[in-house]
Amino acid sequence: MSAIETTCIYCASGQYSLCSRPQPTEDGYSIPCGWTVGDAPADKVKGGGLKEIDEMTDDTSAGRKRAAQLAPIMTGMRCEWAGLKFAGGGVVPILGCLSTTLADAKTQAQAQEKGADDVGHRHHGPDKAVLNNAVGANLHRICSRCHNRWHAINDPFYASTRPHVSQPFLPLSPYYAHDNDTVFTQREYEEAEAWWELEPSRRGPYPFVPSARTYAPLVDGSVDPLGSTTEDPFA
């Protein structure tokens, strides 16, 4: 069997059940990429068939593997929230770091051995659903500090129980989209750092809030993309 000239990224990496080019058949789906990759015989690469979205209960093997393929963390790359004033979106976007470099590692020590500052994290938000892998809008490669700070402020606005992997996981309060354009000044960075250094009971509202919310969840759980409010959830 000759190799196909082009193949989807999932079949190319051997994950045939995640094939992005499935063809419906009477018995289910065929996976053409998986059946024609390299010179392997067809019966060795079927991979168990395509998974329907509503059948994906193991979010680690589905969404997070896709995220790793779509957003690889390259050693030395800069945190994608570095310099941003309203990073990550959510109910309370945060100021990013100054210029943290990342590595695909499990610990900071391992990252530093590779010549980077910190561990790189693949962050899903403001939609926490791991199948929402819109790179640069909902899937971000960021440092530990940005990751931890965003979750510290925004996690209280999400339901305590994660919905099925096929469903969005959005805040229960009006929220912002990620802003990849607005940058902070040195003075604003210092003001944000001073806020984080305070005891939580003394912090008060986060000092930087965009002028209007971009998205607002409706009562039925759907999303109004034009909804906006200037209410501050920390006021």
Residue 97 covered by a domain: yes
pLDDT score for 211: 76
Residue 225 covered by a domain: no
Q: Are residues 111 and 151 in the same domain?
A: yes
Q: Are residues 155 and 121 in the same domain?
A: yes
When divided into structural domains, the chain yields a total of 2
Return the structure tokens found at 208.
């930087």
Q: Are residues 93 and 125 in the same domain?
A: yes
Q: Are residues 165 and 206 in the same domain?
A: yes
pLDDT score for 11: 56
**Can you give the residue range of the structural domain that contains 13?**
9-50
pLDDT score for 2: 37
Residue 163 covered by a domain: yes
Q: Are residues 83 and 16 in the same domain?
A: no
Q: Are residues 122 and 159 in the same domain?
A: yes
Residue 55 covered by a domain: no
Residue 100 covered by a domain: yes
Q: Are residues 88 and 185 in the same domain?
A: yes
pLDDT score for 165: 79
pLDDT score for 8: 60
DSSP secondary structure string, 63-117?
A: IIHHHHHHS---TTPBPTTTTBSSBT-BSS-B---S--BEES-SSHHHHHHTT-S
Q: How far apart are the first and last CA of the chain?
A: 66
Are the C-beta atoms of residues 147 and 123 closer than 8 Å to each other?
A: yes
Q: Are residues 166 and 105 in the same domain?
A: yes
How do the pLDDT tens digits run along the chain, 235 residues long? 333 344 565 555 555 555 555 555 554 445 555 443 333 333 333 344 445 544 544 554 667 788 888 899 999 999 999 999 999 999 999 999 999 999 999 999 999 999 999 999 999 999 999 889 999 999 999 999 999 999 999 999 999 998 887 789 999 988 999 999 999 999 999 999 999 999 999 999 999 988 765 554 433 444 444 333 334 443 4
Q: Are residues 131 and 203 in the same domain?
A: yes
CA 73-75-79 angle, to 5 degrees, is 60
Q: Are residues 129 and 64 in the same domain?
A: yes
111-150: per-residue pLDDT in tens?
Answer: 999 999 999 999 999 999 988 999 999 999 999 999 999 9
Q: Are residues 98 and 204 in the same domain?
A: yes
Residue 13 covered by a domain: yes
